[in-house]
A and B are shown apart, each in its own frame.
Chain A
Amino acid sequence: MSTLFLTACSDWQSALHAHGDNARKIFDLIWTFGAVAATTWLLTVLVLAMALFRSRPPEARSPLQIDPDQERRLNCAVGSATALTVVVLIALTTGSFFAGKSIASMSGSETVTVRVTGHQWWWEIRYPKIGSLQAIVTANELHVPVGESVKVKLDSLDVIHSFWVPSLAGKRDLIPGRPSELTLIADKPGVYRGQCAEFCGYQHAHMAITVVAESREAFDAWRSRQDANAVTPSGDEERRGQAAFLGTGCALCHAIRGTPASGTVGPDLTHVAGRRSLAADALAMTPGALAAWVADPQSVKPGAKMPRIALSADDLNAVITYLGSLE
């Protein structure tokens, strides 16, 4: 039965597909523990079956008539099984301890630092000022250079969330008032999905984060693209969209660098069209999905903090076109 499910499993957000040091060490540990557990269980069930179905002398006896020889043998068996349990547990505890230590030793050599803040129900991501590049804010999509240690600083301003990208590392909680951090390494280029792992309210199910691991050059290129302010609207439709964006409620919550919009309640939209997904990966980034989301967020993510803004059909289309231009 288990093979049925294993073959059905995808590379999608799985602890069984480790692509980073941290996750791989845990993966090995899971297999070791799993193998020991499976063996122990098989042995137990086997002995249980033997105990049940072994052949017995036919004579009936009083329940209190105990064979002292057999009692001694059973004593010996229980004693040995207990001793074996102790040895195995010590071995497993030691193995777990050293795996934990080696994971902890990964920190200290980071080349990139990024701050991730959990919100109900999206991830705010901040890259600090580095060299000539200014500090930037983005959301739900974390870019990292392949093969380099990345320090992820975690905190939360509302409730407890948990940062978990299973292919790369174990999880770490984001607790209000208790900043923490995690070290990530992705050892192969790719897109790794993660998801909030601590129940955080209505849309806990739709609070995903995407980690994009790319070569150093591609990462640097992405970083400098993000450094730029938002593109100025080029056509009439975009200009109308920007005006609508600034004129209605949108700008109260969202920021678009280079425009007066500077809200901090929702995700920064300066380069929103450059991201792969929308609304913490509730939707793929397509014009249709963007329109559906802006038109009625509550039907996509019931309970989400983004209200429905009353826009005329034309304004809505213009806003979608404008946002779609913000690469």
Chain B
Amino acid sequence: MSSIRQKNADRIEELKGVRDTGLDEARLVAFLAHAWQTPKGLYGWLATVDHKVIGRRYVVTAFLFLILAGLSALVMRFQLAAPEAGRISPDFYDQLFTMHGTTMMFLFAVPVMEAFAVYLVPLMIGTRNVAFPRLNAFSYWIYVSGGIMIWIAFAFNTGADAGWFSYVPLAGQFYGIGKRPDFWAQMVTYTEVSALAVAVEIIATVLKQRAPGMTLDRIPLYVWSVLITAFVILFAMPAVMVSSTMLILDRLVGTKFFDQAAGGDALLWQHLFWFFGHPEVYIIFIPATGFVSAILPTFVRRPVFGYLGIVLSLIAIGFLSFGLWVHHMFATGLPQLGESFFTASSMMIAIPSGIQVFCWIATIWGGRPIFATPLLFVLGFIFTFVIGGLTGVMVASVPIDLQVHDTYFVVAHFHYVLVGGAVFPLLGAVYYWFPKATGRMLSERLGHLNFWFVFLGFNLTFFPMHILGLQGMPRRVYTYPLESGWGSANLFISLSSLVLFVGFALFFLNMLLSFRNGLPAGDNPWGASTLEWATTSPPPSYNFPRLPVVTHREPLWAEPDTLAVIEGLRVDAREVLGGMVADAVPQLRLPSADNSIWPLLSATAVGGTFFASIYTPWAVVWGAIPISIGFICWFWPKGEPEDEE
């Protein structure tokens, strides 16, 4: 390296470091690969801050949790296939449905959406890494330790068992069983810390590191969706951190937040939880709509219809999502005027959601569809999500909600919204971006098969639940009497869930097979328009040899053969470009953090403290010492070249 540096010495005299200006391709790549590398071996694996490595890791981990949560659901369906089946105990059943919901919401759905954002955002906005790369690594380690902790607790018969929203007093100090709710509460804290960290870095990345020329009206819709989601996370997640902390304080040190005998209130929990819990649904759903807006134009060969309308709808959904929480609490008997307000706001959120659906259909109308697997999932999404949205309008009505609340109707409704509305686009997104991330195409034949099994299996499993709910079957019952007449429908549902299971098995099979044997993808296999397709598949550690400049909302369609780029960045040290928030005019050359083991060690210290605090409150005091050491070492500069200037 030093010889290369020597040769360029005359040119870089007035500028510190080696710059990419005029550097020939081979040297440029050699410098960048050196500066941005993840070292080989275990240390590199643990210390990397490459957003692509972390993003991939996040995705794989989230899908492992999906498998665990899916298998729990299958066991529940085994029990419910016949009335009074007695195949598993109520105790185990309660843990299963709690772990299913908790895992799906906290360990799969939110993290997988963050994972995609962490992977895709820097590529789509044309930068080399996220704004706070070490925070990104930290967030992953915290997330994975929280997930492993609660599943190990489950393996030791200490699985959370009070439902994924852990209502007090059932989860409180008098009725919560053993340490089960404590593990639940601390796991929530872990995952919220990680989600908040990702939200902060996404906000800073999107606002400050967009390619020059990527003005607000040229930001890809997917990036808009994760930006808005990040803001929703910022204002929603603190609510569940506050409430889960209060819960664990009530349980461990005898505070009285939720104890009605000492001035506390059980409903306070519900208010705080749902103030987070409802936006949570949109934290999962908004990025999914981003997937749709990214996939659709590529496969109908035209830009999305109504870009501005979709952006404004997303912003409206973000705001409105904070005005809906009470619709989870209609049956608690709040004042009628208040309930009417929440009915109206819940209905109103159907308007921006509707606008998005209309715009997508208009996009299809104006384009020429190519029926590849990602598009199939998008179409399956519209088909099923609209049902979930419409049943959402039904449960927004107070009187209807009083009949269907906490029944299988609601179970059907939120699975239509979350699976139809978020998992279908997610599967489509995997098919769409798998070639970019791995350099190989997924099999289209298996993909079509995968789609039809998932689509039919899903609808056959969940549609009948609407009717079961209206027929009076409450949710969260481990069994039901023979006389109820719910037996045949339940058997049908259990058998259908096997079809859905096969669908997901095909999905994972396709990934495993194609990862080894898939067709080579090339840079832009789908002929897409956004910047991530301008680099190689998989992208190099530095993402782009030279950072792109954007002159159009669909850059690769406007200029298919050449990429406008910047020059003048350092290539012998990690450097990215910082720009102005609104119009992305270049402003700073920003040093970007190098690999470090300290995010992992800090996460271990934080995680260990949370874990120990389940057993003694003093853990917080003693844990502060390793945590402080971890963070100080993390931030202490180590004489990287970036400090020379």
Q: Which residues of A contact B (CB under 8 A)?
A: 1-2, 5-6, 8-10, 12-16, 23, 25-26, 29-30, 33-34, 37, 40-41, 44-45, 47-48, 50-52, 54, 56, 62-64, 66-67, 70-71, 74-75, 77-78, 81-82, 85-86, 89, 92-93, 96-97, 99-101, 103-104, 158-160, 162, 164, 166, 169-173, 175-178, 180, 193, 195-205, 281, 302-303
Contacts and interface: CB of A to CB of B under 8 A. Distances in A.
Nearest to A50: B365
B560 to A, nearest CB: 9
B472 A100 contact: no
Interface of B: 89-91, 94, 162-163, 167, 169-170, 174-175, 260-261, 265-267, 297, 301-303, 305-306, 309, 331-333, 336, 339-340, 343-344, 347-348, 350-351, 354-355, 357-359, 361-362, 364-366, 368-369, 379, 382-383, 386-387, 390-391, 393-394, 396-407, 463-464, 467-468, 470-472, 474-481, 483-485, 488-489, 529, 554, 557-558
Contact of B169 (A89, A158, A180, A204): A158
Contacts of B267: 175, 178
A171 B402 contact: yes
A204 B303 contact: no
B470 A16 contact: yes
A152 to B, nearest CB: 12
Contacts of B340: 97, 100
B350 A85 contact: yes
Contacts of A193: 472
A74 B404 CA distance: 37
A70 B364 CA distance: 12
Given A6-B467, A33-B397, A201 B557 contact: no
B467 A5 contact: yes
A41 B350 CA distance: 13
B330 to A, nearest CB: 9
Nearest to A8: B488
Contacts of A78: 305-306, 309, 355, 358-359, 362
A66 B302 contact: yes
Nearest to B359: A78
A100 B406 contact: no
A12 B394 contact: no
Contacts of B554: 63-64
Given A5-B464, A6-B467, A82-B354, 10 more contacts: A63-B301, A85-B351, A93-B397, A103-B399, A158-B174, A164-B474, A166-B403, A170-B401, A170-B402, A177-B265
B170 A86 contact: no
Contacts of B394: 30, 33-34, 37
A9 B485 contact: yes
Given A41-B386, A44-B386, A71-B366, A205 B90 contact: yes
A48 to B, nearest CB: 5
Given A41-B386, A77-B362, A78-B362, A89 B351 contact: yes
Nearest to A77: B362
Contact of B303 (A63, A173, A197): A63
A171 B332 CA distance: 9
B484 A12 contact: yes
A70 B333 CA distance: 51
Contact of B343 (A8, A96, A197): A96
B533 to A, nearest CB: 13
A199 B411 CA distance: 14
Contacts, number: 258
B167 A205 contact: no
Contact of B397 (A47, A96, A198): A96
Contact of B302 (A30, A63, A201): A63
Contacts of A93: 343-344, 347, 397
B408 to A, nearest CB: 11
Contacts of A96: 343, 396-400
B227 to A, nearest CB: 24
B107 to A, nearest CB: 21
B26 to A, nearest CB: 34
In the A-B complex, list the 9 residue pairs whose CB atoms are closest, starting with the nearest. Answer: A170-B402, A177-B260, A205-B477, A96-B397, A13-B472, A37-B390, A10-B485, A51-B365, A199-B476
A9 B174 CA distance: 39
Contacts of B297: 63
Contact of A197 (B344, B400, B405): B405
Nearest to B264: A177
Given A9-B467, A10-B485, A303-B90, A171 B333 contact: no
A92 B354 CA distance: 16
18 contacts: A2-B463, A15-B470, A29-B397, A33-B397, A40-B386, A40-B390, A45-B386, A52-B369, A89-B348, A159-B167, A160-B170, A164-B474, A170-B402, A172-B331, A176-B169, A198-B167, A199-B406, A203-B90
B403 A23 contact: yes
A74 B365 contact: yes
A97 B369 CA distance: 43
B91 A202 contact: yes
Nearest to B459: A1
Contacts of B403: 15, 23, 26, 30, 166, 170-171
B91 A302 contact: yes
Contact of A303 (B91, B383, B477, B557): B91
A188 to B, nearest CB: 18
Nearest to A41: B386
B169 A10 contact: no
A198 to B, nearest CB: 6
A305 B407 CA distance: 25
A86 B557 contact: no
Nearest to A90: B347
A262 to B, nearest CB: 24
Given A15-B403, A177-B260, A47 B361 contact: yes
Contacts of A101: 336
Contact of A16 (B302, B357, B397, B471): B471
Contact of A97 (B174, B343, B357, B393): B343
Nearest to A282: B481
Contact of B361 (A16, A33, A44, A205): A44
Contacts of A196: 474
Contacts of B396: 96
Nearest to A9: B471
Nearest to A5: B467
B168 to A, nearest CB: 8
Contacts of B260: 176-178
Contacts of B474: 164, 195-197, 204
A75 B529 CA distance: 23
Contacts of B402: 26, 169-172
Most chain A CB within 10 A, of B301, B305, B331, B339, is at B331
Contacts of A166: 403, 472
